[in-house]
Each structure stands twice: as structure tokens, then as C-alpha cells.
Amino acid sequence: MSEPLTVRARLAAPVDAVRRALTDPAELRVWLAEQAEVELPHRYEFWGRYTPEGDAPHQRLLHADERTLRFAWTLDGVETTTEFELAPEGAGTLLTLRQSHFDMAEAMSGSSIRGVLQTFWALSIANLAAHVAGEPLLPRTDFTSADLRAELTIDAPLDRVWTSLTDSEQASAWFGYPIGIEPWVGGRYAMGGFETGYAAKVVDLDPGRTISVDWGPVGVSTWELAESAGKTKLTMVQSGFDETNPPYPAWCGNVAGLFELRRFNELADWQPIWVSAELPTSA
């Protein structure tokens, strides 16, 4: 069953700067899409490798003003509707995304590219937040490739990052969703906590360096840490899945989560940007 999706985030930039990032094609090519063309109030299009079904632009502009942007986006033969709403909040901006035609069952089964909508927008909004704040962006997902690999550098000691990855309380905090972790080979890794009835399995662990979690059909998630000039280099890889149907929804969710993982470890006064509880579901 299709469900309306609403996600809210606080961005560290004024409304004018966020609107410019949403509507300037040169800026869109930095944080959202490989290709973008905008001519308000008539045209709003983006496409390319980093866009689901990005072989060509499939958007149709519906409305644009100083605070709202709304467009139709056809995915897997169905016209969906995407809306961004901006509101000033102190010196920053409260961004609200509303997306129609999201179905969690499609996300879990991989039966339609529309299943990626939740985590695609979570990753895109995280990169928008990084872009307007002048911070390094997360790797964007290449929807033409089955090579699911991401790297980023966290300005924090390796042991601190390792603890935040493997401690249930800390991981639940930065991911914004309960995660139960038993950090040993054979231990459980449970999205939603240990009470949900289902948990993935830790299949490899080198303390302080590597942890791998087997999610079944969507493959094995591996996080590798290495010291780099007092910082921590994180490499994340997804493997062991059906390469004819890569688990893009889960992958986008995992990569989106790295935004708050980095901020959690780098900021002394860390607070999540997400206002809505409707955050990406990882696997």
C-alpha cells in the first residue's frame, strides 16, 4: 500500500541559500544529480547516474515560489509528487519533504524503483545539508552500478568511531532508530532493537577495525576503519546480493546514516538535523 512520506530536517543556512541550492542547476549537480536543468517557473529536471531511472529527465514542474517547490516525477510508470517546503528557523532553515507513492513493501522486496524513494531523499537531504554548510558530501549512489562502496573521513580517533559503530546506545543515537548490536561473531544486529523478533548476524569482526553483518538476500554490510593522520577513514561495502537487483534502498539508507555518524563523532554539541522520526531504514 502506498504511503505518504514526510521528512523534516534543520539546515544550517538561511532560506535563500537553501532555495538557491534547490533551484540552481549548477548547485543541483553538486549535491543531487549528475545532470540538472532548471528554468522557473516552467522547467525542473534532473537525471543521470545518481538518479533512479535517470536515463532521461522524468520530472514535470507543478509549482515554485519563494518557499515551496513541487514537481511530478514518473518512476516505474507511475507519476509521483515531490514537494519541498522551506521555513526560516533562527539563522537556519526547516526543510520539509513530502513524497507520494512510497510503499515500504516495494522497498523491502525491490519490486519497484519507487521503493528507494525514502532513503534516496534521506541521502539527498543529508548531502544538501552538507552542501549548504560547506562540509564534505557523502558518496552519491550510482543507480547504473552494482558496485556498492563508500568512503569518507571522520575527524575523530579510530577508537571513538569504532565504539559509535558497535555500541547499541550510540548507534541508535546517531542513526535515529533503535539498533541492537552484539559485537562478536555470531552476535545479533537488530534494526528496531532486540525485541523486534528479527536480527541480522555478525559474521566477521576484527575489534577496532572491521565488522561485517549478514542481512540475508540484500547481502553483507562491511564497515572497515583505518587511522589516517589522527582521523579515521571509513570504508563501507555491500556484497553478496543479486547483482541484477542491487539493494539500492538499503544502501542509500546506510550511506545517509554516515552523515550523522560523522557529525556525532566530530561535534561536541551534536544534535541530529532530522526533526521527523521517519528516517532511513538500513539493511
Helix (H, G, I), strand (E, B) or coil at 3: strand
Q: What is the DSSP letter of 40?
A: T
Q: Strands of the chain (E only): list them.
A: 3-11, 35-39, 43-47, 59-64, 68-75, 78-89, 92-102, 148-154, 179-181, 188-191, 200-206, 210-214, 220-228, 231-239
Task: Give residue 66's pLDDT.
Answer: 95
Give the per-residue pLDDT at 57.
98
User: Measuring CA to CA, how many Å separate 254 from each of 37, 74, 174?
Assistant: 29, 25, 12
What average pLDDT values come out for the chain (283 residues) when binned by 10 residues? Answer: 82 98 98 98 97 98 97 97 97 97 88 95 98 97 97 97 97 94 96 83 97 95 95 98 94 96 97 72 42
* Cell 538499503 found at: 250
Tell me the whole-structure pTM to 2 decimals. Answer: 0.94
At 109 the pLDDT is 84
Sheet bearing 231-239, strands edge to edge? 148-154, 231-239, 220-228, 210-214, 200-206, 188-191, 179-181
Q: Which parts of the chain fold into alpha helices (H)?
A: 15-23, 25-31, 104-109, 117-132, 158-166, 168-175, 248-266
Cβ-contact 156, 148 below 8 angstroms: no
Q: Report d(CA 217, CA 247) in Å as an integer.
A: 9
Amino acid at 42: H
- Is the bond preceding residue 136 a cis peptide, omega within 30 degrees? no
Residue 93: predicted pLDDT? 98
φ and ψ at residue 218, rounded to 5 degrees: -85, 0
